[in-house]
Copies of this chain bind each other. A is one copy, B any other.
Amino acid sequence: MKPRKDTPYLDLFQIIGLKLKKKADESIKELGLNAQQGKIIGYIYENQETELIQRDLADRFHLRGASITSMLQGLEQRGFIERKIPANNERQKNIYVLPKAVELIEDFNDSFQKVEDEIVQVLSEEEKQTLKELLIKINERL
């Protein structure tokens, strides 16, 4: 007598993911960026000395190359980042943040930290640790 339909993990992950996206978007809306753009700018900032290319962003954020192209074109036109073709490989583009973006990084890291805190506010230290381990284990196999 197995249940005909019951996918609590799938449903919970979908709903929590959606709620977090909306919260994160809302929290940095006033900066004129959405959460994805904020996360990407932060990641570029931390990795721009490593000859970061668009491919790396696609891998890290699980997006398609075309989506990265489109997003970076937008950020470049608005003066947040720049892309330079490196001398040693003309099919790549290295990515760098510009001052206009650097100024905002602390702000949206604070905002993201607040959302982060909201997630785990109801958990004990031990529960937080357990959850993190379980999430990492799941993510590795997915």
Q: Which A residues have a C-beta under 8 Å from some C-beta of B?
A: 4-24, 39, 42, 46, 62, 109, 112-113, 115-116, 118-123, 127, 130-132, 134-142
A-side binding surface: helix, strand, loop or mixed?
A: helix
For A121, the closest partner residue in chain B by CB is B141
How far is the CB of A81 from the nearest CB of chain B, in Å? 18
Instruction: Give Cα A77–Cα B113 distance, bound, in whole angstroms.
Output: 44
Contact A138 B109 (CB under 8 A): no
Chain B hits for A130, CB < 8 A: 130, 134
Q: Find A131's partner among B4, B5, B6, B134 (CB 8 Å cutoff).
A: B134
Q: Which of B46, B141, B142 contacts A20 (CB 8 A)?
A: B142
> Contacting A13 at CB < 8 Å: which of B6, B20, B62, B141?
B20
Q: For A118, what are the chain B residues with a Cβ–Cβ distance below 8 Å? A: 141-142
Determine the distance from Cα of A19 to Cα of B132 in the docked complex, in whole angstroms: 17
A49 to nearest B CB, angstroms?
Answer: 16
Cross-chain contact A132 with B20 (CB below 8 angstroms): no
